[in-house]
Structure 1
């Protein structure tokens, strides 16, 4: 039986409130690739294959897996008039809009020429698109609005050096949104009411020193949220209802200790505004969903699961009733709370094979846009007509994926040495597992692909990196090590102070499991990952130098001290949590302890080849982290290859930059693990790639680059990239 994967429509940022308040600090949004993406390749290897499980699969071009999608992110306008989606314009993702009944009349309405637009949603006017954009990966986000009729785009936050964020939208105020701006104090976001038609803004709440505010559909500030010095959280309400201005007094409403801080927090209001939905792990392990009546104080359990925290919710667009709640252990499982949508979900089961993602719905709830997620094929987008129980196919994320042979994703649960369950995801090369039991007919080279965060998680579904590496002949394993979110507070808290310790032990236990099961060849195991996964890679090569044949570190910190000393200003409110979870950089004892767990300290232990990728504008893991470990390795004559992008930040968002880095990566892995690889070809064209160190150590790299790209990019090149 097919299962449902449905999320709250993206009209309202408040529905993801808990995730916004408790960030995945180091997670990279585009480290390697977007799932199921790419423009159609024009290379010879793009030709259709008739490969079967007994034939040698052809190489899937990197352009198919890591280029921009042909179409993605279908949305229906709240008034049911328009359909929107993302698609390239001259190679850059922009927003396209069509009449709801005629997709053929779609046209681009945004005009970004430098950097992909990676997400969008409709304003409640039904005639305006809202999206965020930064420059060259600096994460100085601006909020833009585009008038669909005129094509005019307006910057609603035309200020320098800001990190703007949409605080709230409401159908009650279709021409206005709430925006958080940190222009007054970089560490704090004030809340403004912004008119999307004129750009005029009015101060609603001056931030008096808290991490965030919680607002409702009336655009009223209802709560203030902060982190305590001990690493816990406190949700505060005004002592006098409605009085949140300067000098207002606040009182504690809900407080958590550090043990519950990651699993407890607000998740929105009902229609009346008198009921607060709350994820809560206090007096339990997993975060369950509760409803608190703010007038009577009554607290009611809505949904729970003993294995997993509450995940996504389906919420009615106007009534604000919670219709279904998901829990994701190995895969999403749903609890339907409102029988009104059961028939709809039952029908959608019959449309395609795959998990259903609801991406938007109209205010009258007559139309939904839905996407079907597979683990071995493209995402399929549909428009669903509820009244007629009919789903109309819109498009695939790519039309050419059926030319290639993809692999299924297995979901093993691996035991750690101290008895923890590590939910993991395994992909094997096509044809290597004839009986489909998740064990190949002979041990294979293995790539351990470590997720960022660390307060995030790996999930089931189409994974471009998994499919790419499996196609090249590798088993690919992703492990939800302790500290990964979604598995209850005990699992999260087990990672406190365990960077390079038990968190790394979990990864080693997974490698040993793969070897013992006959999946992996012990002498041919690579470790790679982005952000925290990059740190894990460096830990792997320094703390356990004999385990891995090679490593690929992408935007990973090499020193926990310099990481915590060079944070973006808006991380400051979260730093008490970092002291509990990672360590205290403010004391000499704390620094010493952090240095003990920093790969930079043990750089002379590195014995195996290392590839490092870095964005010059990364505000989270700054270029210092890559520069200092490369310099230390050079000083000790330890080989390293360093790839640097002057126009990227925390991850490689640009299509050609992704393509170029993955070209280097697969040649690097082939040399040290023995798998197949597609030559560099033209994948360095239109990329900003520089390889100042170790280019000659990777096949085809030095030959494909001009001499100036074999040096550090000049400062003026970085400045020009940031100014674009």
Structure 2
């Protein structure tokens, strides 16, 4: 079975109007004053929706001013709704259907930063009419419920370290599976247990664990079928045979080698077929293959290939049928093998012609409802319900109702050549209005760095900058994932070197095209992107006039052995087996690590810099920022420091996001924007 694919969503192909150079977009006329910062970074009132297994009911998380997020269930047949869960001290967090009558959910508090979190998520279950409300997992004994309808059932609670799985499960009984991690004395995850939990009685059964397992995968019937764990430099995947429920080793490989033996389990089809993502037959990009459970080998013929891209996505199934796949190339898209779903997609696309429309179906198909998530570069995610019988569509909610698409910038995928000839993908967003030349530019470097950056879509940071008049370049420098092994491996041991050159080369590409003003360019990013920001100021002071670094690495050696290492969430295995090959060996590459650490080059940074760090960050602890600030301010007095004591690796609180981006806007305006002194 060979799937077709769209390298770029057909909606994007229709929407984009490229110049002969492929470098700029046709622009709309000038627009009024842009939305305020709160429209981009304030808390969203819409928290998502989930359709019940039969498709008759819709659970929706919503919020309102002065209230914590609450849970509502809508009967789509009668068009009536009922609030089923609300708390006076917490917000509804993750929620999903247990069966057609019952939901399970956990809690969080949107008003509390990471450093002030005092309660675990807990776990609760409730019927769709608000009855049979049960607390299942403790939150350190802090449960308070003021607005919940129905009756709470008292019982002995599971300890706090039990969490919802990401998979939806069988949805056909009172039971779910939950994860139960156990930690070492140094707060590392030793292994993760899997527990079967009755959401009415609280009865539990622990699933036998085949080894030191950190992750589990359920099959299409909702039963545990795969388990995976990594010890030192070996990853092992175990398979539970449905004939006898006995675990056996399926495959083992070295996780940091990025070799041909690596596989990523994608999921099981209704017939028990295991689908995996693999790079078989010496191919540069990964594809979807079936896996022979008897031989322990990947079947060499790919089922789904996305030319020029590694496959990133998932299966779309019901209980008895594989319908298609959802995947990402330049943008996210659905592709269907089921004729009915293909026809539904075509109809929805006609009803919503300005957006990419992603469909979600219920586990069963007893009613005609299909959930739709639509988006575009200028349109934040919007959620709809489509009725297969009436062929009508109705809106469920907007993620960002204050955003006017006519005021947004337009975005396109581009490619440019690095100085050594490597092809570098990137996203370019131009501000709204008609101006297409001589623009001020912000180069946004993604974190990771071994991740895929943003795909074509609406992104709050990018569009906020675009509406303030800035072009935004987001390069997928070498080392980024999603573009094949050659692109990924080219980034090994290239922090501050070829990876950094890729960022500079993309910037010069836009200068050569006349799109940006070479005197008004700023570099920005978080985590690795913050590191690249500082190294950009070091390596290319003629190119970047200022830099914005939040939660960025400032010294590679500090990642190995800084004084804060006991607080870092970097594992000993990663530091021993991954970092030496992918970043650099502390002994063999000592000179390189010193030359490519911003803190060692701090005296060379004379441009304006904005630094922002979280006080409880465990990925790049505060020590990175403070030590660098002390070093850079010895010679550079144009440095702004922001510290959010309660935040971790990024900003969780809306108030801090609003504060940070307000400061960013002022910083950019002063240095490369309207308020900058032009030479």
TM range (shorter): 0.7 to 0.9
Q: Which moved more, 1:629-638 or 1:256-265?
A: 256-265
Distance 2:261 2:653 in 1: 32
Shift of residue 671 of structure 1? 0.5
- Picking from 479, 482, 487, the partner of 1:483 is 479
Counterpart residue number, 2:621:
622
Give the aligned partner of residue 516 of structure 1. 512
Q: Secondary structure at the residue paired with 2:259? A: coil
| Residues 437-492 of structure 1 deviation map (CA, whole Å, 9 limit, x = unaligned) | xxx1x311100111222213221111222221122121111111112221112211
- Which of 58, 63, 79 is matched with 2:33 structurally? 58
Following the alignment from structure 2 to structure 1, what is the Cα–Cα distance between the partners of residues 235 and 625? Answer: 33
**2:447 is the counterpart of 1:452:** yes
Q: Name the structure 2 match of 1:316.
A: 317
Range with bigger deviation, 483-492 or 569-578: 569-578
Partners of 1:3 and 1:356 within 8 A in 2: no
Matches within 5 A, 1:172-183: 174-183=173-182
Alignment partner of 1:465: what SS? helix
Secondary structure of 2:579's counterpart equals: helix
- Give matches, 1:39-54, under 5 Å: 54=29
| Cα drift, residue 163 of structure 1 | 9.0
More divergent stretch after superposition (645-654 vs 512-521): 645-654
Give structure 1 stretches of 5+ with no counterpart.
6-51, 434-439, 678-724
- Seen in structure 2, the aligned counterparts of structure 1 residues 630 and 256 have a Cα distance that, compared at 3 Å, is closer
Which residue does 1:688 correspond to in 2?
Answer: none
User: For each residue in 1:55-102, what CA deviation from the matched residue of structure 2 results, as whole angstroms up to 9, or x when unmatched?
Assistant: 463132111111122324232122434323343344676243131337
Q: CA deviation at 1:631?
A: 2.1
Structure 2 Cα separation of the partners of residues 492 and 304 of structure 1: 18
Give the corresponding residue for 1:145: 124
SS in 1 for 2:62: strand
Q: 1:569 to 1:226 in 2, by over 3 A?
A: same
Residue by residue over 1:297-327, the C-alpha shift from the partner in whole angstroms, topping out at 9 and shown as x without a partner, is 6825211122112222342221252523534
- 8 Å contact kept, 1:595–1:601: yes
How far did residue 550 of structure 1 move?
1.0
Q: Conserved in 1, the CA contact under 8 Å of 2:549 and 2:610?
A: yes
**Cα displacement (A) at 1:289:** 0.3
1:506 to 488, 502, 509: 502
Aligned residue in 2 for 1:533: 529
Question: Which runs of structure 2 are paired with 1:65-464 in the superposition (5 Å)?
Answer: 65-90=40-65, 94-101=69-76, 105=81, 107=83, 109-111=85-87, 113=89, 119-124=94-99, 126-131=101-106, 133=108, 136-137=113-114, 142=121, 144-147=123-126, 149-150=130-131, 154=135, 156=137, 158=139, 164=163, 166=165, 168-171=167-170, 174-185=173-184, 186-193=188-195, 194-206=197-209, 208-216=211-219, 217=221, 219-226=223-230, 229=233, 233-237=235-239, 242-244=245-247, 250=249, 252=251, 258-260=257-259, 264-273=263-272, 275-282=273-280, 283-295=282-294, 299=299, 300-319=301-320, 321-328=322-329, 330-332=330-332, 335-352=335-352, 353-359=354-360, 361-364=362-365, 366=367, 367-402=369-404, 405-433=407-435, 440=436, 442-454=437-449, 455-464=451-460
Question: In structure 2, how many angstroms separate the alpha carbons of the residues matched to 1:92 and 1:632?
Answer: 45
Taking structure 2 as the reference length, what is the TM-score of the superposition? 0.81
Conserved? CA contact 1:451–1:533, under 8 Å = yes
Contact 2:54 2:362 in 1 (8 A): no
Q: Does the CA contact (< 8 Å) of 2:97 and 2:171 recur in 1? A: no
SS at match of 2:165: strand
Give the structure 2 partner of residue 710 of structure 1.
none
8 Å CA contact 1:427, 1:470 repeated in 2: yes
Q: TM-score, normalising length from structure 1?
A: 0.76
Structure with bigger RCO (C-alpha 8 Å, 6+ apart) = 1
CA distance in 2, matches of 1:118, 1:673: 40
Q: In 2, Cα distance between the equivalents of 1:191 and 1:504?
A: 41
Secondary structure of 1:602's match?
helix
The alpha-carbon deviation at position 676 of structure 1 amounts to 7.1
Pick one of 533, 550, 556 that aligns with 1:554. 550
In the TM superposition, residue 670 of structure 1 has moved relative to its aligned partner by: 0.6
Q: Distance in 2 between matches of 1:154 and 1:595?
A: 53
Alpha carbons 1:237, 1:252 under 8 Å: kept: no
Is the contact between residue 169 and residue 178 of structure 1 (CA under 8 Å) also seen in structure 2?
Answer: no
Identify the range of structure 1 (506-515 vs 200-209) with the bigger mean alpha-carbon deviation. 200-209
Conserved in 2, the CA contact under 8 Å of 1:83 and 1:100? Answer: yes
For 1:577-588, what aligned pairs fall within 5 Å after superposition?
577-584=578-585, 588=587
Alignment size in residue pairs: 614
Distance 1:320 1:615, change over 3 A: farther
Equivalent residue number for residue 19 of structure 2: none
Q: 1:549–1:261: structure 2 CA closer, same or farther, 3 Å change rule?
A: farther
Q: Does the C-alpha gap of structure 1 residues 64 and 142 become closer, same or farther in structure 2, counting only changes over 3 Å?
A: same
C-alpha distance in 2, partners of 1:323/1:634? Answer: 55
* CA separation of 1:154 and 1:262: change in aligned 2, threshold 3 A: farther
Structure 1 moving runs of 4+ over 6 Å: 238-241, 254-257
Secondary structure of the residue aligned to 2:404 is helix
Q: List per-residue Cα deviations over 1:140-177 (Å, max 9, x = no partner).
A: 96453342515957463657996956265521664333
Q: Is the 8 A contact 2:333 2:356 kept in 1?
A: no
Give the Cα–Cα distance (whole angstroms) in 1 for the partners of residues 465 and 663 of structure 2: 13
**Cα 1:562/1:464, change in 2 over 3 Å:** same
SS at match of 2:633: helix
Distance 2:550 2:649 in 1: 9
Residue 642 of structure 1: aligned partner: 641
CA–CA distance in structure 2, aligned partners of residues 530 and 67 of structure 1? 19
Q: State how far apart, in whole Å, the 2-side matches of 1:112 and 1:552 are.
A: 38
Contact in 2 for aligned 1:263/1:488 (Cα 8 Å): no
Q: Distance in 1 between matches of 2:257 and 2:63?
A: 44
Residues 400/605 of structure 1: CA separation in 2 closer, same or farther (3 Å cut): same
Secondary structure of the residue aligned to 1:670 is helix
Distance of 1:55 and 1:292 partners within structure 2: 54
Q: Which moved more, 1:374-383 or 1:599-608?
A: 374-383
Which residue matches 1:705? none
* Mapped contact 2:68–2:86 kept (Cα < 8 A): no
Write the distance in 2 (CA, Å) between the matches of 1:583 and 1:112.
Answer: 50
